[in-house]
Amino acid sequence: MSWGLAYYALEWAIRITALLIVPVRKPAATATSWLLLIFFLPVPGIVLYLAIGSASLPRWRTRQFTARLPEFSKLANSIAREDPDGSKSEDLTEKVVANSGLMPAIGGNNLELLVDYQAMIDQLVTDIDEASERVHMVAYIFASDSTGKKVVAALERAVKRGVQCRVLVDPIGSAHWFREIQSMLRGIGVDVRATLALHSLRRWTRRDLRNHRKLYLIDGDTAYVGSQNIVAADFRPGIVNQEVVVRSQGPVVAELEAIFAVDWQNETGEWLGDKISIPKAAGNARLQVLASGPDFSPEGFRSLLLQVIHSACSRILIVTPYLIPDPSVLAAMKLARLRGVEIVIAVSRVRDHPIVHLAQESYYSELLDIGVQLVAARDGLLHAKVVVSDRQVGVVGSGNLDIRSLILNDELSLVIYDEASIAALAETVERMIESAGPISRTEWDARPKLARVVENLARLTSPLL
């Protein structure tokens, strides 16, 4: 048999095999995109699919997480018993989040919204400087720039006081700085580990499946959750990030410590869950933690988003830097509009990821057609990830409105239920919307035809983005 004939046979073997394995437990659009790629480019396509096509985790990791579920349930029950509201809630969103992320809603928390980028870093440094026992951090980006070095200096002072500092850093998100920041942290005595390390065969998983959480914990009684990484606001030249972060104290911090404990065990084998204590009530905010991703419920964040949209009666506000909704989210928005629900989505005009932004723009016409109001920040990147519905529920976290956050990456969301906190969050979002410019139907229809073609070509990649 000639080499040419052998290669031809190989290509058809790949195509036939792909038909059997690619569609398994995948959304139709995602499976179709992969099959098209493999059918046209069998060898490169199957290599790419093997690298990033499957979101399944190694069996050892699944077994490890399953083994901890009884302890998770025990902690969740203990937290629920501390609920100052006293009775079990019948709120459907609380039930969805509890069944997806395993943690209950809990009252008695203090909630502070941080929207000033540098002020958030300064407050975090102040809290680290006051730590007496431990500092735990998960960062998608931890840079060795001036902002990162400011946090490193605070961690160094903490280590010298005898504080145990543990840091998880994603090596893809922090690729530009990873080796340097790892060396800096190890050099001052911080126990730093890579999340989903790329060099480990035992921990092999989808290469683009990342831990996208941003979580900073001090002494088990203060927590930061939101969209802000440890990096300068303008780390991309000419682009200034705008963020929303929640600083909280109270029983909900125990839930966030439990999420860190899972992430830490996955990378080190060391379980910290037995060291978690439940802080006493510190305020009136009612909060609930949702961890989503392959370890927990892979579709937890999407389930939360769908529940919020389906339950809305009057108005939904969304802030997201990346807007590539899947069919279920689009259908939920269409149904909400038919109910008369006003939907306002704030995005950015800045193109920090050109292909992603082009794919995003391909959805604007469809959203405008159903009556969704789109506004775009004139300056900087709205990197915040926020949802507010009817002033009845709010969400602040790390999840974008794209396939990556909806069902792939490890994400973290803080769900807010009390009236005062939601009102404050809604006012924050309203200010962002007021400072942005509307994307009108007339403006959008006037863009060049070539732009539409390029956008639609980019949209074909959206199930893979």
CATH code of the domain covering residue 195? 3.30.870.10
Q: What pLDDT score does 86 carry?
A: 64
Q: What pLDDT score does 465 carry?
A: 54
**Which of these three, 257, 288, 319, is where a domain ends?**
288
User: Is pLDDT of 204 > 60?
Assistant: no
Q: What is the pTM of this model?
A: 0.90
- The 10 Å CB-count burial string (b at 16+, else e) for 239-253 is bebbbbbbbbbbbbb
Do 81 and 211 sit in the same domain of this protein? Answer: yes
Coil, helix or strand at residue 39: helix
Q: What are the tens digits of pLDDT across the range 99-115?
A: 999 999 999 999 999 99
Determine what percent of the chain is predicted with pLDDT higher than 70.
92
Task: Tell me which H or E stretch contains 226.
Answer: strand 222-226
Q: Please tell me the total count of domains within the chain.
A: 3
User: Is pLDDT of 203 > 60?
Assistant: no
Q: Contact at 8 Å (CB) between 181 and 142?
A: yes
Q: What are the tens digits of pLDDT across the range 265-314?
A: 988 989 998 889 999 999 999 999 999 987 787 788 999 999 999 999 99
Question: Which residue in this structure is represented by tokens 């999407």?
Answer: 302
Q: What pLDDT score does 186 carry?
A: 97
C-alpha distances in Å from residue 322, one per residue of 51, 166, 170, 356: 23, 30, 20, 7
Q: Which residue has the higher pLDDT, 354 or 233?
A: 233
Do 137 and 273 sit in the same domain of this protein? Answer: yes
Q: Contact at 8 Å (CB) between 171 and 159?
A: no
- Angle of helix 59-81 relative to helix 252-268, nearest 10 degrees, comes to 160
Query: Residue 461 — pLDDT band, cuts 50, 70, 90?
Result: low
Is position 99 within any domain?
no
Task: Tell me which H or E stretch contains 246.
Answer: strand 245-249
Q: What pLDDT score does 246 carry?
A: 98
Range picked from 13-22, 264-273, 419-428 for highest mean pLDDT? 419-428
Residue 176 buriedness (CB in 10 A; 0-12 / 13-18 / 19+): middle
User: Is pLDDT of 202 > 60?
Assistant: no
- The 10 Å CB-count burial string (b at 16+, else e) for 335-370 is ebbeeebebbbbbbebeeeeebbbbbbbbbeebbee
Question: Which residue in this structure is represented by tokens 């792909």?
Answer: 18
- In the numeric block, which tokens belong to residue 110? 């203090």
Is position 179 within any domain?
yes
Q: How far apart, in whole angstroms, are the C-alpha atoms of residue 106 and residue 97?
A: 12
Do 348 and 225 sit in the same domain of this protein? Answer: no
Kind of pairing between the strands at 373-377 and 245-249: unpaired
User: What residue numbers bound the domain in which 218 lies?
Assistant: 59-92+104-288
Do 307 and 394 sit in the same domain of this protein? Answer: yes
Do 150 and 166 sit in the same domain of this protein? Answer: yes
Do 236 and 311 sit in the same domain of this protein? Answer: no
**What mean pLDDT is predicted for residues 379-388?**
93
Q: What pLDDT score does 54 carry?
A: 65
Task: Tell me which H or E stretch contains 124.
Answer: helix 117-129
**What mean pLDDT is predicted for residues 437-446?**
87
First-last CA distance in the chain: 40
User: Is pLDDT of 194 > 80?
Assistant: yes
Known catalytic residues are 212, 214, 219, 383, 385, 390
Phi, psi of 280 (to 5 degrees): -75, 165
User: Is pLDDT of 205 > 80?
Assistant: no
For the chain, what is the mean pLDDT? Answer: 89
